[in-house]
């Protein structure tokens, strides 16, 4: 999987081992249900146009990112009005999503794999990344 910054086409490789943990939680239809004074049911529905969450979570001891790549992603997350392309690169799945960081839900959560401070850019972190799909 890769995360590509659209403004510069820079890319960070995100290693295998991440699970899209909320892939099937998204409900594309918003529904508002009310009752009229006489008890009649009033249902309003609308299709959501964007905002699907994409949470990449570590899966069973996987989902690691090198400190150097995590630093790049952290820097990108601090940029306003930036969009990214999240590209799945699996034999069975090559979808692409136009995304922004989901700051409202805590865009990045990371901890050193070894449980103590890292000493080099090659050390690994276990990471959860949170994005929102937006129109391209």
Give the domain ranges of the chain.
2-133
Question: Above 80 in pLDDT, residue 123?
Answer: yes
3-state secondary structure 57-100: EECCCCCEEEHHHHHHHHHHHCCCCCCEEEECCECCECCEEEEE
Residues 69, 101: Cα–Cα separation, whole Å: 16
Question: What percent of the chain stands above pLDDT 70?
Answer: 100
pLDDT value at residue 61: 75
User: How would residue 44 be classed by pLDDT, with cut points 50, 70 and 90?
Assistant: very high
Cβ-in-10-Å burial (0-12, 13-18, 19+) of 86 comes to buried
pLDDT value at residue 25: 95
The H or E element containing residue 11 is strand 11-13
pLDDT digits 0-9 by tens, 23-37: 999 999 999 999 999
| Cα-based distances in Å from 2 to 52, 97, 104, 116 | 19, 11, 23, 27
Regarding pTM above 0.75, the answer is yes
Tokens read off for 133:
């799909």
pLDDT value at residue 119: 81
Question: Above 90 in pLDDT, residue 39?
Answer: yes
Question: Above 80 in pLDDT, residue 40?
Answer: yes
């Amino acid at each position: 999987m890769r995360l590509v910054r659209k403004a510069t086409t820079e890319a960070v490789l995100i290693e295998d081992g991440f699970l899209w943990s909320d892939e099937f939680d998204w409900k594309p239809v918003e529904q508002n249900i009310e009752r009229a004074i006489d008890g009649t049911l009033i249902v309003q529905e609308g299709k959501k146009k964007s905002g699907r969450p994409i949470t990449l979570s570590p899966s069973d001891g996987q989902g690691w990112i090198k400190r150097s790549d995590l630093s790049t992603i952290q820097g990108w997350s601090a940029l306003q009005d930036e969009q990214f392309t999240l590209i799945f690169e699996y034999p069975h799945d090559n979808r692409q999503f136009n995304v922004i960081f989901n700051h409202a839900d805590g865009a990045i959560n990371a901890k050193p794999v070894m449980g103590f401070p890292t000493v080099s850019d090659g050390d690994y972190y276990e990471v959860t990344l949170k994005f929102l799909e937006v129109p391209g």
